[in-house]
Amino acid sequence: PQPPLAPMGPPPPHAAGWVPPSSDPSRSAERAVDGNTIISQYLQQHFSTEAHTFAGAGKAVADTALSGMIRYPQRIAARLADKAAALGIPTGRALDIGCAVGGTCFELARHCEEVIGLDQSAAIIGAANRLRTSGTMELFCPDEGELTTTIKAVVDPTVDRAKVSFKQMDAMCLSPALGEFDLVVVSNLLEALISPGSCLGRLAGRQGVVKVGGLVLVASTYDWDARLTPQDLWLGGRRDAAGEQLRSREGLAKAMGKCFELTHEENMPQVCRINARKYEVVVTNVTIWRRTE
């Protein structure tokens, strides 16, 4: 699951006189703490090793299925690359919409010549660029109470980080200047958007970011929250005017439309460390679609 979006401060002018919270100087210390916590959560999800993730539980967890559930971002990248290879699809350019600190992007760089990661948060993009530049970044892992352990997130040195770039961009307003991509990832993002359909609508069409013949991996927990997404814009998880149940997986297929055909689907578990002895397991619905027109 994605941690809450980090604060960002887009430059003025702002629509309708809106002033982003990040421009309030009285909250700067609070924002710094929150931002560092969120970035550490992302770094842990993307780069923590089995030893770091389960340090407090040791062998009690190492011998269970949980040990195979870490590094979800790398696993979805590998799944998408494997599907492209099986279908004979080129892997020149890849795009990760909602990339966070770049775990999926760096993994895709093993297979692609160019990888672009997008995120709306300036703070998170800054962390991703630090990893691109140095290959490592410190993070703190909660242990118990106020105690933490400081470890390093490390990008595998066999990855060519120069293939990867990061840009701050709104997933619901993708720039046409991005062009087209052979592979696109939209993972655990839809449920955090005001209008998930706006993001999905940019995958195809005259200026679609997925090339005809290319692949897009769309993954979601369908964990909708009316505080983030108006209920009438949820892909599912609600009832229609007639009282009939609307399921998110069916809503996703409808939103993908006739331009895409489903090539792969699975439910992929992931484990996230809450503290040294507490973990969260989430099962994400992972789908891979091929653009046909």
- Decide if pLDDT at 28 tops 80: no
What's residue 157's pLDDT? Answer: 97
For the chain, percent of residues with pLDDT exceeding 90: 68
CA dihedral of residues 50, 120, 124, 28 (deg, nearest 10): -130
Residue with tokens 């979601």: 220
Q: Burial letters for 221-231: b for 16+ Cβ neighbours within 10 Å, e otherwise?
A: bbbbeeeebee
How does residue 46 score in pLDDT terms, banded at 50, 70 and 90? confident
CA atoms within 13 A on the CB side of 72: 30
Tokens read off for 159: 């990855």
User: 106: closest CA among 159, 153, 152?
Assistant: 159
Residue 139 forms beta bridges with which residues?
151
How does the average pLDDT of the chain come out, rounded? 86
How does residue 278 score in pLDDT terms, banded at 50, 70 and 90? confident
What's residue 290's pLDDT? Answer: 98
pLDDT tens for each residue of 131-140:
999 999 998 8
Pair 223, 91: CB distance under 8 Å: no
pLDDT tens for each residue of 146-185:
998 888 999 999 999 999 999 999 999 999 999 999 999 9
pLDDT tens for each residue of 196-229:
999 999 999 999 999 999 999 999 999 999 999 9
Q: CA 277, CA 57: separation in Å to the nearest integer?
A: 6
Amino acid, res. 52: H
How does residue 21 score in pLDDT terms, banded at 50, 70 and 90? very low
CA dihedral of residues 174, 109, 255, 98 (deg, nearest 10): -50
Pair 109, 165: CB distance under 8 Å: no
Pair 258, 189: CB distance under 8 Å: no
User: 88: closest CA among 209, 207, 263?
Assistant: 263
User: 91: closest CA among 77, 76, 75?
Assistant: 77
What's residue 231's pLDDT? Answer: 95
- To which H or E segment does residue 114 belong? strand 114-119
CA dihedral of residues 7, 179, 177, 117 (deg, nearest 10): 20
Pair 182, 249: CB distance under 8 Å: no
Task: Give, in order, the Cα–Cα distances in Å from 137 to each of 73, 150, 262.
Answer: 17, 10, 37
How does residue 44 score in pLDDT terms, banded at 50, 70 and 90? confident
Cis before residue 13, ω within 30 degrees of 0?
Answer: yes
- Give the mean model confidence (pLDDT) for residues 17-31: 41
How does residue 60 score in pLDDT terms, banded at 50, 70 and 90? low
Residue ranges of domains in the chain, CATH in brackets:
35-223+239-291 (3.40.50.150)
- Decide if pLDDT at 19 tops 90: no
User: 118: closest CA among 189, 48, 170, 75?
Assistant: 170
Alpha-carbon 133 to chain mean position: 20
Higher pLDDT, 187 or 33: 187
How does residue 6 score in pLDDT terms, banded at 50, 70 and 90? very low
What's residue 63's pLDDT? Answer: 63
For the chain, percent of residues with pLDDT exceeding 70: 82
- Give the mean model confidence (pLDDT) for residues 52-61: 63
- Give the mean model confidence (pLDDT) for residues 34-54: 74
What lies within 8 Å, CB to CB, of 277 at 6+ separation is 56, 57, 144
- Decide if pLDDT at 71 tops 60: yes
What's residue 109's pLDDT? Answer: 98
How does residue 53 score in pLDDT terms, banded at 50, 70 and 90? low
Length of the chain: 293
How does residue 251 score in pLDDT terms, banded at 50, 70 and 90? very high
Least confident window among 56-65, 74-83, 262-271: 56-65
Alpha-carbon 255 to chain mean position: 19
Residue with tokens 């599912």: 236
User: 76: closest CA among 52, 44, 49, 111?
Assistant: 111
Furthest C-alpha separation in the chain: 56
